[in-house]
Amino acid sequence: HVCLAIVWFFYLFVMGVKNKREGSKYVLIGGIVLLLTGINDILNTLWVIETIFLVPWGLMAFIFSQSAVLSIRFANTFHRAESLNQELTDTNQKLEDAYQKIVEKEKARTLFFHNTSHELRTPLNGIIGFAELVKNGRFGQLPKSAALQVGKIRNLADSLKMQVNTILDLAKAQKGELSLDISRIDLN
């Protein structure tokens, strides 16, 4: 009993000095009480001293000190868990807010592309139509060099219209409104 108390005391002393955590002093006090109780039992068994009234309660004091240490550590662990939970809740809320902002910005960007594409397509169709009328001689015959330049205007306007349509298709695809058109084409 006393040997166990001595080994336990030195273990508690080393751990108390090494860790210096909250509650270590209670472990050390409990170990001292257990050691003194053990020494008292040895001396009482050898008839060197007579046991006083409080000594039999030494083991109980040790157990209470251990209970105090466990309670303190449990409370600290519970407090840390609550703090971590609150941090996670705050982080999740920040992530949710950031996600909502991204969704709103994406909707605004898609709407901007959609509206801009429609607004650009109308004048382009007008340019293409008038260029075709001029090229075909609807407003009088053009010299060959002028007709060539009007043809270039028409080609550039067609190219710009194709780019605007691509932007419009991207906006539709992001909104989930793009439909697939399956058809045969001539590879030549």
- The conformation of residue 50, written as its DSSP 8-state character, comes to P
pLDDT of the residue at 25: 64
How many DSSP H helices and E strands does the chain contain? 4, 0
> What is the pLDDT at residue 53?
55
Whole-number Å distance between alpha carbons of 21 and 3: 26
Per-residue confidence (pLDDT) for residue 26, from 0 to 100: 63
pLDDT given at position 102: 92
Specify the pLDDT at position 109: 79
Whole-prediction pTM? 0.43
pLDDT by 10-residue block (mean), the chain, 188 residues: 62 61 61 70 71 62 69 82 92 93 86 76 86 85 87 89 82 75 85
Look at residue 84 in the predicted model and tell me its pLDDT.
92
Distance CA 24, CA 13 (A): 9
